[in-house]
Structure 1
Amino acid sequence: MTDPLRRRSLWFASAASAVLLTAACGGTTIDDAQDDGGAGPTGTADPNAEIPEGLAIDFLPKQLNNPFFDLVNEGGFAAVEELGGEATERGGTEATADSQVEYVNAASQAGSDVIVIAANDPDAVCPALNEARDNGAAIVGYDSDANCTDVFVNQSTNELIGRALADMISDELGGEGTFAVLSATPNATNQNAWIAELEEILQEDDYADLELVDTVYGNDDDLESFQEMQGLVQAHPDLDGVVSPTTVGLAAAARYVSDSEYQGELAVTGLGTPNQMREFVHDGTVGQFALWNPNDLGYLSGYTGAALQAGQITGAAGETFTAGELGEFTFETDGEVVLGPPMVFDADNVDDFDF
């Protein structure tokens, strides 16, 4: 990966540094964790504790062969390698809770020291995760949290992501028009939180002339997302734009629009990777999109899990730890550490990044 992938510089140009890492955004709090069977931040951290070599760290994405999670787990594997541990990726090709339960159980039975999971459902995976914890595993959520993780590595704050989506579609539509949302799965905690923030932000005066008319789900499947995009324009012939807060959905929506009569007429924006979206930016289908660095998200998650298992942190507010090349992080709230705000990509900078 190139140098920009190891920099915590993915900020909105308009985001004030004073808001960085200050908002609590739906991660597991100490009360939530205790209510739902999770450990929560307990005990006393020893920031000088050594991380033992040979930790077995398992990464469970929402699904395998998903370009976003491939990049996330690549960063996680790099962190585990630096720590002298052993990384394993487990999962199925469908983004279902039932599939994840199977692989959580497999990781637990294999003696995993740390399970890093992007949950497909906030509750359904918890019995298996709690059993894995009983077997000695530290449980770290990333991307999409479950209600029973020990800590959650949040890629950004819900408010900042929701505002990014609102700002981008507002820019693309000149501040007025109708748009729809093409999301991932109906139970995805992260997408649902971002959409809720988007809906709240739309109530502000600056967005009074924007109207969200529909929300559909492509289940993070390329073909299904493509078909849902087709269905949206058929159901709403006067639709002005689409926001997709998922990398699979955004790429599918852009591909549909780029080869249709709507190219240049229907605005498409959301969350995606530069490598996926580059051609659609250059052909004029997508004016701008946003994302945090997925490689860094996995990297931070790997270091967080190792620090948790070693006792350097418990996840309590105020604790700090060092995540390799990314530097020092602080738990601003119980049970949650934040990577940082996302960055907006457009024709001026999309070629500067390779992920």
Structure 2
Amino acid sequence: MKAFRSALLASAVLLAPTSLAFSQECAKEPVTVGFLPKLDTDPYFKVAFGGAQEAAKEIGGTATQVAPSQATAEAQIEFINSLVSQKVGVIAIAGNDANAVAPALKRAVQQGVRVISYDSDVAADARAVFVNQVKGDSLAEMMLESAFDLSGGEGEFAILSSTPTATNQNAWIDFMKAKMAAEPKFSKMKLVQVAYGEESEQINQQQALALVQAFPDLKVIIVPAGIGLPAAARALEEAGMIDKVKLTGLAPATLISKYIKDGAAQDIWWNVTDLGYLTYQTAQALAQCKIAGKEGEKFKAGRLGEYTIGAGGELILGPAKIVTPDNLAEFKF
């Protein structure tokens, strides 16, 4: 009997977050949404938050943002707890580590706070909706195609990612490896190393130079991180290597416009302001029970129009573009 009671108690503990999530009251008016990006110094998240503030002015409520000075899960957990104590209605997080932040987010749900993720997902059972800037596979495919174009379809290339635990970058890298293995088109391209810039401009510069020195025949570096691509470009330019090794990846187009115009780099990008805008609209719709995060649910997202939640609670902002000299003027960030 004692063992039975223990097992029953354990089951109740495991089920508690789910039952508490369903018992959350629907907000009758717009709430405070606490944004928690990966890092406080990344201009990408500052621009995204500007979009959230725009949405808040339109539909009411409050957008607030706190961020760690180090891109680690441990640092984000402290801010999750702080946002809960501030009694925000929704936490919108760009996860530094999908699984490491999950327990803290589940505790937030138990205390009545709703959770969504944006830009970089967290464990699916720790949030209701993931607002993704673009379908992940398409980003990875575009980066690989860009590297193919810049290298002439053959030779060595490297990847300079953010951190070993970054959810979105790891998924993109896995997709690129699988696509290269499956398609003969990429048979003459060789991925020689995956390095990490640790969300630091200085480390990204050091790693870019280290890759060039370690692999004299390197043709392209893919940098799927907003801080890393401009840093790598500056490092290669200062070392006189920008014409020898091409760059592609993800970064605010305005930060590498010089290199795009010169043909030294390509960029895959999207409207960052709209990502923050859509995230805030989603948070308010969730708080007011207009959506619950289930596939097929639809809601109005202000000037962006109607959106439909996809499988796994994923919401896609829209398609990205490869930024070239021809379309550079379209991108304001």
State the TM-score, normalizing by the size of structure 1: 0.84
Matches within 5 A, 1:265-304: 265-286=244-265, 288-304=266-282
Report whether the alignment pairs 1:90 with 2:66: yes
- Tell whether 2:207 aligns with 1:228: yes
Q: 1:253 to 1:299 in 2, by over 3 A?
A: same
Q: Does 1:103 align with 2:69?
A: no
AA matched with 2:277: Y
The CA deviation at 1:291 is 1.3
State which of 233, 241, 245 in structure 2 corresponds to 1:254. Answer: 233
SS in 2 for 1:334: helix
CA RMSD of aligned residues (A): 2.1
Alignment of 1:72 with 2:48, yes or no, is yes
**Number of the residue aligned with 1:307:** 285
What is the SS of the residue equivalent to 1:139? strand
- Within 1, Cα distance between the matches of 2:223 and 2:319? 18
CA distance in 1 between partners of 2:248 and 2:214 (Å): 19
Q: Distance in 2 between matches of 1:221 and 1:172?
A: 26
Instruction: Work out whether 1:186 is the aligned partner of 2:164.
Output: yes
Note if contact 1:257-1:285 (Cα within 8 Å) is conserved in structure 2: no
Q: 1:38 to 1:285 in 2, by over 3 A?
A: farther
- Partner amino acid, structure 1, of 2:53: F
Partner of 1:328: 306
Instruction: Give the Å deviation of 1:99.
Output: 1.0
- Say which SS state the counterpart of residue 315 (structure 2) adopts: strand
Give distance in 2, aligned partners of 1:36 and 1:259. 56
Residue 260 of structure 1 deviates from its aligned partner by 2.4
Q: Residues 117 and 36 from structure 1, CA distance in 2 versus in 1: closer, same or farther, beyond 3 angstroms?
A: farther
Report which of the two structures shows the higher radius of gyration computed on alpha carbons: 2
Alpha-carbon displacement from aligned partner over 1:185-236 (angstroms, at most 9, x marks no partner): 1100000001111111112111111111100000111111111111111111
Q: Residue 122 of structure 1: which of 95, 98, 103 is its match?
A: 98
Q: Compute the displacement of 1:85 (Å).
A: 0.7
Quote the residue 1:216 is aligned against: 195
**Within 2, Cα distance between the matches of 1:151 and 1:96?**
22
Q: Return the letter of the residue paired with 1:85.
A: G
Quick one: which amino acid aligns to residue 43 of structure 2?
A: P
Q: How does 1:45-60 map to 2 (within 5 A)?
A: 52-60=28-36
Mapped pair 1:344 → 2:310: no
Q: Letter of the aligned partner of 1:174 in structure 2?
A: G
Q: In the alignment, what sits opposite 1:136?
A: 112
Aligned to 2:144: 166
Distance 1:68 1:37, change over 3 A: farther
CA drift at 1:52: 4.1
Aligned pair in 2 of structure 1 residues 176, 297: CA closer, same or farther (>3 Å)?
Answer: same
Q: Flag as ranges the 4+ runs of structure 1 deviating above 4 A.
A: 35-40
2:296 equivalent to 1:318: yes
Instruction: Supply the distance in 2 between the matched residues of 1:162 and 1:109 (Cα, whole angstroms).
Output: 38
Q: Distance in 2 between matches of 1:238 and 1:36?
A: 55
Q: CA deviation at 1:282?
A: 2.5
Q: Deviations along 1:26-84, whole A, 9 cap, x unmatched?
A: xxxxxxxxx998659x869xxxx9x7444111000001120111111111222222221
In structure 2, the partner of 1:238 is 217
How far does the alpha carbon of each residue in 1:220-257 deviate from its partner, in whole angstroms, 9 at most, with x for none?
Answer: 11111111111111111111110000111111111112
Query: 1:73-122 deviations in whole A, cap 9, x for unaligned?
Result: 11122222222111110112211111111111110000010100001111
For 1:109 and 1:295, the matched residues in 2 are separated by 28
For structure 2, list consecutive stretches of 5 or more residues without a partner in the other structure: 1-13
Conserved 8 A contact 2:17-2:110: no
Partner Cα separation in structure 2 for residue 263 and residue 329 of structure 1: 41
Percent identity between the two aligned chains: 37
User: Match of 1:186, as an amino acid?
Assistant: P
Q: Does 1:196 align with 2:174?
A: yes
Higher mean displacement: 124-133 or 321-330: 124-133
Segment of structure 1 superposing worse, 76-85 or 135-144: 76-85
Correspondence 1:263 to 2:242: yes
Instruction: Indicate the SS of the match to 2:194.
Output: strand
**Offset at residue 293 of structure 1 (A):** 1.4
Secondary structure of 1:277's match? helix
For the residue of structure 2 that corresponds to 1:247, the secondary structure is: coil
